[in-house]
Amino acid sequence: MEEREKKLSDLGYAIEKAPKPGGLYTPVVIDGDTFYMSGAVPADSDGVKFTGKVPSAVNAEDATRAAALCAASLLRVFIRDVGPLSMIDRLIKVTGFVNSEPEYTEPHLVVNGASQLFLDVLGDAGAHARSAIGTATLPLGVPVEIELIGRLRR
């Protein structure tokens, strides 16, 4: 097992648990040295692990864990569909969507869960620009969805 995959596994995210696409889309598109990853929800190959709005049905701590699971799912999908994580030169942009009540003003703190996982697994290559957006709803009623853009090592 390569170094980055070992870090992901050591954090409790089994490499082989990549979720299947939930619709008619491609999980990863590569254009030159740039890869674009479709939004990931907090799920693995066994299904969705978190549902509900933040903070009424899912507290901020659980939503942050859900965001980390989204990030782990993106990395697992990368491994399955592209190759080893050593192919990632750096992350460019992370976009996080948080299914939240209108008065909730801290989606950026929820998305920190994804950002931290990327840094823990990829080191400096995991540093990225980011947006965190509160939304009225997300697919399957999940509390968070994360998209990713990165650059491949060639």
Tokens linked to 5: 């995959």
Kindly report the number of other CB atoms within 10 A of residue 25's CB atom.
Answer: 9
pLDDT tens-digit readout, 23-34 = 999 999 999 999
pLDDT at 1: 84
Q: Could you tell me the residue ranges of all domains in the chain?
A: 3-12+25-152
CATH class of the region 3-12+25-152 = alpha beta
Determine if the pTM surpasses 0.95: yes
Point out the residues of the chain with pLDDT beneath 70: none
